[in-house]
Amino acid sequence: MPDVINYWPLLGVGVVVAGFALRRNPVLVVVIAGIVSALAAGMSVADLLALLGRIFVENRMLLLFLLILPVIGLLEHYGLRERARSWIAGFRGLTLTRFQVTYLGLRQLLSMAGLTHVAGHPQTVRPLVAPMSEAAAERSLGGELTDEERAIVRASAAATDNVGLFFGEDVFMAFGAVLLIQGFYARNGIELEPLAISLWALPTAVAAFIIHAIRLRLLQRRLVRDRARADGARDAAH
């Protein structure tokens, strides 16, 4: 007789759909869906716990990264962003361009050393770099930012982090993309050492730093020009 397909494990899909439709906690919904599917498939409780334990061990680095997010949220709740703003505002002569160019260089250097997860959007951009950029922009513009200006400054902070990471990590020899390039060339009969690939990525990283630094300078000029134009129009209206 042909094997009978057990469709009961698909109940987990229904749990996911229902949970998301009811806007329940996504993590809780997925965990419950996994338990439902496992039990419907005939898995014992002991086997289920063993499976969860093995998954936890195999993905512990990812889980540790996720545990950082509540810590950052707690620090923000107790005024991390406000302290960052007030601290950066105390530096005389620090403009938006100077601050973000400094962060760009630091992000690239850390990425070149393989420390790609030291900084990032959740770890540094949202709680530190964005509010510091806002404080530096307020100093550059001579007043509080509008909602539109604030959005532009925050987007610039996120973009600066992306540029620093993307063009810096290829200089690190043990980075996955470098090894992927080496493997691709090896399959086509071209032998390259990871060091050679990293060295060839260095001029691109330098060019990216210079180009983005110029873009940041132009961004600050545009913000100052738009602010002056808006102030002039407001004065003319009065």
Per-residue model confidence as pLDDT tens digits over 7-51: 888 898 999 999 888 888 877 888 888 889 888 888 888 888 887
Per residue in 106-136, pLDDT (tens digit) is 999 999 998 888 888 888 898 899 999 999 9
What pLDDT does residue 215 have?
97
d(CA 202, CA 198): 7
- The answer to whether residue 3 scores a pLDDT higher than 70 is no
Nearest in space to 107 (alpha carbons), one of 88, 123, 120: 120
Domain locations along the chain: 8-58, 69-237
Residue type, 92: R
Which pTM was predicted? 0.69
What pLDDT does residue 135 have?
92
Q: Are 100 and 216 a contacting pair, CB within 8 Å?
A: yes
What pLDDT does residue 238 have?
66
What pLDDT does residue 195 have?
86
Per residue in 161-217, pLDDT (tens digit) is 999 999 999 888 877 778 888 888 888 888 888 888 888 889 999 999 999 999 999
What pLDDT does residue 62 have?
59
